[in-house]
Chains A and B, each alone.
Chain A
Amino acid sequence: MATTQATRYITVEDREIGLDPEGFVVDMTAWTPAVAEALAAEEGRELTPEHWEVLEVLRAFYARYENAPAMRPLVKAVSQALGPDKGRSLHLMRLFPDSPAKVGARLAGLPKPTNCL
């Protein structure tokens, strides 16, 4: 996805982080784990080690394929990286209610998945 204009900012560790209208980090290089914590806190989510291992899978996926995954490939990637017990929709839905692919990409500092409606 093309980088869009920031429409609002959150302050993380004294830095202004630009967010697009849907809350995705505009400049991927500005992302740090603290940004994920701040974004999660805004939504009332708390990031546990189980969340973090999925965010790492998401970032590795992007690093390799230059795209954020939709739900099905995310499940597959988590299954490959963390084992079949965690590579289930149910597990991901529990960690990231609403839309695991979209919420996960946002917290991981990735662009919105292109093929995730």
Chain B
Amino acid sequence: MSEITEVPHGDLLVMLRHAPHGGLWLREALDLALVGAAFGQSVSLLLMGDGVWALLQGQGPGPLGQKGSHSTFEMLEMYDIERLYIDSDSLEERGLIRDDLLLPVIEVPTSELSTVLAGHRQIFNF
């Protein structure tokens, strides 16, 4: 866990704004991030809004056995996707703290979010 210590940068920024299990947005976003990384792009993720629920610890499969996304998040480091930015306010509004999360993240105050967007060559919003 850390605060922003360097200027955000990368080829691809994938923004995750949807919670897990409710639809395919999160899955699609992660697939795009993995494909980008598999092709050698430097990929960052930004979680905001309900997207922050995706990093909550203790998730499991859906009632019909649908695969969750938590194991895919854990796999990101194998694809060298190591910059996970997260909007501090979105966490706070949902009563979440850093220790509730699966992975180390870089907390971004709302006033700094625009620098994360500006630091990437391409932005994909999910």
Do A and B have CB atoms closer than 8 angstroms in the complex? yes
Which bracket fits the contact residues of B?
Answer: 10 to 19
Q: Which A residues have a C-beta under 8 Å from some C-beta of B?
A: 61, 64-67, 69-73, 76-77, 114-117
* Contact indicator B78/A114 (Cβ below 8 Å): no
Instruction: Give chain B nearest CB distance to A65 CB in angstroms.
Output: 4
Main secondary structure of the interface of B (DSSP, over half): helix
> For residue A114, which residues in chain B have a CB less than 8 angstroms away from its CB?
31, 34
> For residue A65, which residues in chain B have a CB less than 8 angstroms away from its CB?
71-72, 74-75, 78
Residue among A61, A64, A115 with max Cβ neighbours from chain B (10 Å): A115
B80 within 8 A of A: yes
B38 within 8 A of A: yes
* Contact indicator A66/B38 (Cβ below 8 Å): no
* Contact indicator A67/B38 (Cβ below 8 Å): no
Residue from A71, A73, A117 within 8 A of B75 (CB atoms): A73
Chain B minimum-CB-distance residue to A65? B75
* Contact indicator B34/A115 (Cβ below 8 Å): yes
